[in-house]
Amino acid sequence: MNEQPAPVTAAPTSSDDGERPGGVGVGPWPGPWPAEERYDPDLLAGGDRRNVVDRYRYWRHEHIVADLDTRRHPFHVAVENWEHDFNIGSVVRTANAFGCAAVHIVGRRRWNKRGAMVTDRYQHVHHHPDTASLVAWARGRGLALIGVDNLPGSVPVETYPLPREAVLVFGQEGPGLSEQVREVCEAVLSITQFGSTRSINAGAAAAIAMHAWVRAHVFDQPVPTAESTDPSPS
């Protein structure tokens, strides 16, 4: 039960890294090279065109991952992938931006990484063959499973106190959360909407939910109670 899940496999695409030579990034290191081990001689010599923040310019890949591991937040994200969901790449990219501990893909191992824009190289991504294995993994670490879907009876994410150590679980575009996942989630949260459509893109929903966690646990912004919030327009 406490074994680490297997690393996930990304499906190849015609443009799989998003890091091309040109105007993006920085050129060769000017002046004497730094002596620290974290710096990559090839990048120092040729320039760093990767999609990384300035802090990590010229760093070796493994040193970036190691540094991120010292600052990742204690929440995880899980995505169901029963029908090759194209939103997974976007979710991985957002998870990296918000310092998510890891992304867990449930169902099919292979996924289209185009939307990840290379962030899957720096973000821990694991695979679970089915819902039961995700549940066992989460319970073995004391992590609450929190579903995110606009379902009858769901609670607005804007009013729910998200646990600090949790797994935010997302279904596929269209079908949403599977019945198996709904049954094991501690709560199912919805994102309040005001327009005519009944749902929003799964990648966008994941970004909103992750940012809700960041607001609560990084910026210490308490959520309003459901009783004090009226989502309907005046």
131: tokens are: 């819902």
The reported pLDDT for the residue numbered 17 is 42
Strands 9-11 and 110-112, sheet pairing: parallel
The reported pLDDT for the residue numbered 23 is 61
Q: Is residue 66 part of a domain?
A: no
The reported pLDDT for the residue numbered 10 is 42
What 3-state DSSP class applies to 69? helix
Q: Is residue 115 part of a domain?
A: yes
The reported pLDDT for the residue numbered 199 is 82
% helix / strand / coil in the chain, to the nearest 5? Answer: 30, 20, 50
Q: Is residue 231 part of a domain?
A: no
What is the value of pTM for the model shown? 0.86
Determine the Cα–Cα distance for residues 101 and 22; give it in Å rounded to an integer: 32
Q: Is residue 48 part of a domain?
A: no
- CA-closest candidate to residue 129, choices 110, 154, 143, 151: 110
Q: Is residue 64 part of a domain?
A: no
The reported pLDDT for the residue numbered 6 is 55
Domain span holding position 81: 6-11+72-225
The reported pLDDT for the residue numbered 93 is 96
When divided into structural domains, the chain yields a total of: 1
CATH code, 77: 3.40.1280.10
Task: Give the pLDDT means over successive 10-residue stretches in the chain (234 positions).
Answer: 49 41 81 97 97 96 98 97 83 97 94 91 97 97 96 95 97 87 96 90 94 98 69 51
Q: Is residue 136 part of a domain?
A: yes
190: tokens are: 């919805």
The reported pLDDT for the residue numbered 1 is 39
Determine the Cα–Cα distance for residues 62 and 29; give it in Å rounded to an integer: 20
Determine the Cα–Cα distance for residues 212 and 222; give it in Å rounded to an integer: 10
The residues, any chain, with a CB within 8 Å of residue 156's CB and separated by 6 or more, are 189, 190, 191, 192, 226, 229, 231
The reported pLDDT for the residue numbered 12 is 38
Between the alpha carbon of residue 146 and those of residues 77, 79, 188, the distances in Å are 9, 12, 6
The reported pLDDT for the residue numbered 18 is 45
The reported pLDDT for the residue numbered 24 is 79
